[in-house]
C-alpha cells in the first residue's frame, strides 16, 4: 500500500513539472535574425499593438526619404492581415513542437470527504459459546457461529442441548450483543490514468506538421504578393512624378508660345486665330495636368495605406527606374522553377493533407489499445481524530484500484455505407479533384511564365526603337539650338525640340517601368529572386 501511494505522488509531480518547463522554454526563446526589425519597423509594430488595445497612436514614425527596400519592410511589418496570419502560424507551430503530448496519459486526481446524513444502525446479534474444553481445546461447537439446534420455544434462553446427533456442535449458553457504529466522516482519494494508443495518432501528428507547413506557405505567398504590389506602386509613383514634371514643362512651353503669339499679334505679325490657337493649346493641357496630380495623390494614399502610414504623413521617394536587361529562356525557366511556385506547392500540400486524412480514417478502423491504472485508497479511521499518515498500512485500505489493458475494435465502421467508409470515398473524390486542379495550375503556370518572358522580350525590342527616337530627338534639339545661335531659328523652335526630346525620354522611362513590372511578375511567378535569374 505504501508503494502505491508513493507511486501516485511521484507520477503527479512528474506530470506537473513537464508542462511548466516546456512553457518556460517557449517564453524565453530568442528571436531569429529574420525576425529582427529596424527602428522604423519597430515603431510600426508598436502602432499595431496599440491599435489592438484600442489606443490612438499620435506619434507616427518620421521619414525623410523612403527607398524600395524600406517600403517593402514597412509594408510587411504593418500589414494586419499578415500579422493575423502569423499569430495563427504561431499556434500551429506550438502544436507542431508539442506533438509528443499526444502520448501523455489522461491523469485525474481526486479527494473526497463525505458523511452520511443519517447515522448508521447499530449491529445486533447472538453469540453462542460452550464451556466443554479438554486440554485447552473445545470439544464441541465453534464459538461465535449461529446455533441451528436452538430451542424452538425460546431461542434466547440458555440451555444445554441434548439428544443431538453425534456430529452436531453443542453450546451450553447464548450471549446477545449490540455494536454501536460511530457516525464519522469518511476520507478517500483517487488517481486515474488512461492512455489510448491507436494507429490514427501517427496520422494526427503528421496532420499537425502538414497544417503548419501549409500555413507557412500561405504567409509566404501573402508576403511575396504584398512585396510585389508595393514595388510596382513605388515605381509607378516615380513614373508619375516624371510624367507630371514633363507635363508642367510642356505647359510652360505652351505658355511661352502663347505669350509670343500674343506679342506677334499686337505687332500685327500674326492673325488673331494663331494667337487664340496657342491659348487654347495651353488651356487644354491644364486639365490633363490636374488629372495626373489627382491620380498621383490617389496612388500615394494607397501606397501609404500599404505601408501602414497615416494619410497625412509626408514622404519622399528615393529611387530610379533603371532596370538591368537579362536574357531568359521560357522553357528552361519552366523546367527549373515551376515546382518552386507557391501555388503549385500549396496544391501539393493540400493533396498531402487530404491523403493523410484518408489514412487517419482508415487507421481509425483498426484496434485501439487502452492502458488504465487507478488507485482509490480510503481512510478507515475518523479523519478528524486520527493522524492520516501515522500508520498507512493499517489506516488506509485500497478499494478497487487496478491496472488494466483493453483492446477495442470498432465494429460499426466496417459496416457498408458507414460514416468512415463515406469519409474515405469523399477523400478519394477530393484527391481526384485536387489532382485535376494541380494539372490545370501547372498548365496555367507554364502559359503565364511564357507570356511574361514574351512581354520582356517585346519590351527589350521596344527599347531599341525608343532609344533610336531619343537619339533622333537629341540630334534635332542640337540642330535647333545651333540654328538658333546662328539666327536661323526662333527660340520657340528650340523649346519645341526640347519638349519632343523629353517626350521621347519619358517613353523610354515608361517602357523601363513596364520591364521592371514584368520582372517583378516573373519573380513572383517563379518564387525566385531576379538576382538568381541573372546569375
More confident residue, 60 or 510: 510
User: Mind listing the pLDDT tens digit for each residue in 407-421?
Assistant: 998 888 878 888 889
Please say whether the beta carbons of 5 and 388 come within 8 A: no
User: Mind listing the pLDDT tens digit for each residue in 318-333?
Assistant: 998 888 888 889 999 9
Alpha-carbon span 448 to 220, nearest angstrom:
20
Alpha-carbon span 27 to 402, nearest angstrom:
39
Nine-digit cell string for 128 = 453462542
pLDDT at 268: 87
Nine-digit cell string for 435 = 489532382
More confident residue, 502 or 90: 90
Model confidence at 162: pLDDT above 80: no
Task: Quickly state the pLDDT bin for 170 (edges 50, 70, 90).
Answer: low
**Mean pLDDT estimate for the chain:** 79
pLDDT at 393: 72
Task: Quickly state the pLDDT bin for 431 (edges 50, 70, 90).
Answer: very high
Classify residue 165 by burial, with Cβ atoms within 10 Å: 0-12, 13-18, 19+. exposed
Model confidence at 188: pLDDT above 80: yes
Contacts by residues 132-140 (CB-CB < 8 Å, ≥ 24 positions apart): 132/170, 132/172, 139/170, 140/169, 140/170, 140/171
Mean pLDDT, residues 419-443: 94
User: Mind listing the pLDDT tens digit for each residue in 240-267?
Assistant: 999 999 889 888 888 888 888 888 888 8
Classify residue 436 by burial, with Cβ atoms within 10 Å: 0-12, 13-18, 19+. exposed
Alpha-carbon span 57 to 35, nearest angstrom:
23
Please say whether the beta carbons of 36 and 423 come within 8 A: no
Model confidence at 186: pLDDT above 70: yes
Please say whether the beta carbons of 508 and 467 come within 8 A: yes
What are 370's strand-pairing partners? 196, 406
pLDDT at 260: 84
Alpha-carbon separation of residue 274 from 166, 259, 278, 281, 283 (angstroms): 158, 11, 6, 11, 15
pLDDT at 437: 95
pLDDT at 269: 82
Mean pLDDT, residues 506-525: 92
Model confidence at 156: pLDDT above 80: no
pLDDT at 126: 63
pLDDT at 203: 94
For residue 111, the tally of other CB atoms under 10 A from its CB is 9
Task: Quickly state the pLDDT bin for 217 (edges 50, 70, 90).
Answer: very high
pLDDT at 117: 77
pLDDT at 15: 42
Classify residue 474 by burial, with Cβ atoms within 10 Å: 0-12, 13-18, 19+. middle
Model confidence at 505: pLDDT above 70: yes
Of 12-16, 109-113, 313-317, the one with minimum mean pLDDT is: 12-16
Alpha-carbon span 298 to 222, nearest angstrom:
24
Share of the chain above pLDDT 90, in %: 39
Model confidence at 95: pLDDT above 70: yes
Model confidence at 483: pLDDT above 70: yes
Please say whether the beta carbons of 341 and 526 come within 8 A: yes
Closest CA to 350 of 272, 280, 289, 436: 436
DSSP letter for each residue of 278-290: HHHHHHHHHHHHH
Alpha-carbon span 45 to 57, nearest angstrom:
11
Alpha-carbon span 337 to 207, nearest angstrom:
27
Task: Quickly state the pLDDT bin for 514 (edges 50, 70, 90).
Answer: very high
H/E element, 142:
none
Alpha-carbon span 81 to 102, nearest angstrom:
31
Closest CA to 321 of 248, 249, 227, 234: 234
Nine-digit cell string for 7 = 507511486
Alpha-carbon span 519 to 535, nearest angstrom:
15
Alpha-carbon span 26 to 96, nearest angstrom:
13
**Torsions phi, psi for 71 (to 5 deg):** -60, -45
Secondary structure of residue 448 in the 3-state scheme: helix
pLDDT at 274: 84
Please say whether the beta carbons of 144 and 127 come within 8 A: yes
Alpha-carbon span 355 to 364, nearest angstrom:
14
Nine-digit cell string for 391 = 500508520
Model confidence at 276: pLDDT above 80: yes
Of 172-176, 334-338, 408-412, the one with minimum mean pLDDT is: 172-176
∠323-325-331 over CA atoms, to 5°?
A: 130
pLDDT at 450: 94
pLDDT at 164: 43
Alpha-carbon span 71 to 228, nearest angstrom:
11
Model confidence at 158: pLDDT above 70: no
Amino acid at each position: 500500500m505504501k508503494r502505491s501511494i508513493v507511486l501516485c505522488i511521484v507520477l503527479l509531480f512528474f506530470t506537473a513539472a513537464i508542462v511548466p518547463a516546456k512553457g518556460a522554454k517557449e517564453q524565453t526563446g530568442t528571436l531569429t535574425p529574420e525576425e529582427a526589425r529596424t527602428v522604423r519597423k519597430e515603431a510600426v509594430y508598436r502602432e499595431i499593438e496599440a491599435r489592438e488595445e484600442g489606443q490612438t497612436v499620435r506619434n507616427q514614425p518620421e521619414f525623410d526619404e523612403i527607398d524600395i527596400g524600406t517600403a517593402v519592410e514597412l509594408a510587411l511589418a504593418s500589414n494586419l492581415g499578415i500579422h493575423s496570419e502569423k499569430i495563427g502560424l504561431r499556434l500551429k507551430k506550438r502544436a507542431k513542437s508539442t506533438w509528443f503530448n499526444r502520448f501523455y496519459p489522461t491523469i485525474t486526481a481526486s479527494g473526497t470527504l463525505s458523511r452520511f446524513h443519517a447515522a448508521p444502525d447499530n449491529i445486533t446479534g447472538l453469540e453462542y459459546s460452550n464451556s466443554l474444553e479438554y486440554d485447552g481445546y473445545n470439544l464441541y461447537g465453534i464459538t461465535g457461529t449461529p446455533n441451528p439446534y436452538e430451542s424452538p420455544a425460546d431461542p434466547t434462553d440458555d440451555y444445554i442441548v441434548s439428544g443431538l446427533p453425534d456430529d452436531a456442535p453443542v453450546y451450553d449458553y447464548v450471549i446477545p450483543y449490540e455494536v454501536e457504529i460511530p457516525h464519522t466522516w469518511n476520507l478517500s482519494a483517487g488517481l486515474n490514468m488512461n492512455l489510448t494508443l491507436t494507429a490514427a495518432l501517427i496520422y494526427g501528428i503528421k496532420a499537425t506538421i502538414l497544417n503548419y507547413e501549409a500555413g507557412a506557405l500561405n504567409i509566404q505567398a501573402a508576403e511575396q504578393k504584398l512585396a510585389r504590389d508595393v514595388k510596382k506602386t513605388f515605381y509607378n509613383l516615380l513614373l508619375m512624378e516624371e510624367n507630371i514634371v514633363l507635363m508642367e514643362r510642356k505647359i510652360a512651353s505652351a505658355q511661352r508660345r502663347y505669350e509670343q503669339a500674343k506679342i506677334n499679334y499686337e505687332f500685327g505679325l500674326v492673325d488673331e486665330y494663331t494667337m487664340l490657337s496657342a491659348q487654347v493649346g495651353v488651356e487644354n493641357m491644364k486639365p490633363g495636368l490636374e488629372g495626373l496630380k489627382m491620380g498621383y495623390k490617389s496612388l500615394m494614399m494607397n501606397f501609404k495605406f500599404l505601408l501602414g502610414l497615416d494619410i497625412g504623413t509626408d514622404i519622399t521617394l528615393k529611387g530610379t527606374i533603371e532596370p538591368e536587361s537579362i536574357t531568359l529562356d521560357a522553357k528552361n525557366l519552366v523546367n527549373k522553377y515551376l515546382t518552386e511556385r507557391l501555388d503549385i506547392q500549396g496544391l501539393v500540400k493540400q493533396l498531402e493533407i487530404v491523403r493523410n486524412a484518408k489514412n487517419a480514417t482508415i487507421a481509425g478502423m483498426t484496434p485501439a489499445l487502452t492502458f488504465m491504472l487507478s488507485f482509490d485508497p480510503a481512510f478507515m479511521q475518523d479523519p478528524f481524530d486520527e493522524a492520516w499518515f501515522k500508520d498507512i498500512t493499517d489506516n488506509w485500505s485500497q478499494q478497487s484500484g487496478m491496472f488494466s489493458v483493453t483492446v477495442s475494435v470498432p465494429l460499426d465502421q466496417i459496416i457498408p455505407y458507414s460514416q468512415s467508409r463515406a469519409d474515405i470515398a469523399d477523400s478519394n473524390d477530393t484527391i481526384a479533384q485536387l489532382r485535376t486542379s494541380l494539372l490545370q495550375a501547372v498548365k496555367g503556370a507554364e502559359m503565364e511564365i511564357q507570356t511574361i518572358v514574351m512581354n520582356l522580350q517585346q519590351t527589350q525590342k521596344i527599347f531599341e526603337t525608343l532609344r533610336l527616337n531619343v537619339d533622333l530627338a537629341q540630334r534635332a534639339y542640337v540642330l535647333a539650338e545651333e540654328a538658333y545661335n546662328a539666327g536661323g531659328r526662333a527660340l520657340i523652335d528650340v523649346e519645341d525640340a526640347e519638349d519632343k526630346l523629353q517626350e521621347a525620354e519619358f517613353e523610354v522611362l515608361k517602357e523601363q517601368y513596364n520591364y521592371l513590372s514584368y520582372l517583378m511578375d516573373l519573380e513572383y511567378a517563379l518564387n525566385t529572386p531576379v538576382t538568381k535569374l541573372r546569375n
